[in-house]
């Protein structure tokens, strides 16, 4: 009887593969972690915070220890799911969280809790860096627009420029409108900007100004 149960258990576990279906019919998109008695996977068609599933099927017909261990780290896992939704974490965080769950199933509950705490800290830090990088990029575009506007004001205050350089004024007016248009364009697609953690915020400040300068140059080519 025990041999038959173990054979059936192996068959059930063998169904958990990429593009397979789980016991409730969800299509499996990724296998995040897998052992002889458990599998942690991601399914299609559900929000990110609901797509990670844990399936436990022990060799012994009655063995609640792995489930009891998962219940001990469930608050940490649920918190991770909320962080996943809140901060838009990439797939590497799902993999790390799955490894933490696997550690708990295998008996290392306290180590799993520590890993979840580290994941939470890293997710918050990465989110902060991403936001600051985007703000720096946006600020660079705004500073470039401000500099052009300041140049225009200074030229208007100078009597020589006011009487002799109507063409320069017109160019600066066009540059002001196009630079603020570039700033608005950057602001609208700010969430699409990919932030590289290896780059400093100063780099993104310069890049934002450079992108706005490109918008101004392109506008002038069309205008003149």
Give the residue extent of every domain in the chain: 2-107, 128-223
pTM for the complete prediction? 0.68
Give yes or no for residue 77 having a pLDDT over 90: yes
What's the chain's average pLDDT? 78
Question: What is the Cα–Cα distance from 201 to 142, expressed in whole angstroms?
Answer: 15
* pLDDT (tens digit per residue) in 39-68: 999 999 888 878 999 999 998 888 899 999
Pairing of strands 38-43, 28-34: antiparallel
């Amino acid at each position: 009887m025990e041999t038959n149960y173990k054979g059936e258990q192996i068959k059930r576990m063998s169904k958990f593969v990429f593009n397979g279906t789980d016991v409730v019919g969800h299509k499996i998109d990724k296998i995040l972690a897998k052992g002889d008695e458990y599998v942690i996977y991601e399914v299609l068609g559900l929000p990110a915070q609901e797509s990670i599933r844990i399936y436990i099927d022990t060799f012994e017909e009655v063995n609640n220890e792995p489930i009891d261990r998962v219940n001990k780290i469930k608050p940490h896992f649920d918190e991770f799911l909320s962080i996943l939704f809140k901060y838009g974490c990439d797939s590497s965080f799902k993999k790390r969280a799955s490894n933490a769950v696997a550690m708990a199933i295998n008996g290392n509950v306290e180590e799993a809790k520590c890993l979840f705490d580290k994941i939470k800290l890293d997710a918050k830090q990465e989110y902060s860096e991403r936001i600051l990088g985007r703000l720096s990029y946006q600020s660079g575009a705004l500073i470039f627009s401000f500099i052009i506007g300041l140049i225009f004001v200074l030229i208007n205050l100078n009597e020589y420029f006011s009487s002799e350089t109507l063409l320069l004024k017109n160019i600066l007016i066009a540059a002001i409108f196009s630079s603020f248009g570039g700033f608005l364009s950057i602001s609208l697609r700010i969430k699409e900007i990919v932030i590289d953690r290896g780059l400093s915020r100063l780099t993104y400040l310069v890049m934002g100004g450079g992108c706005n300068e490109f918008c101004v140059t392109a506008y002038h080519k069309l205008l003149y």
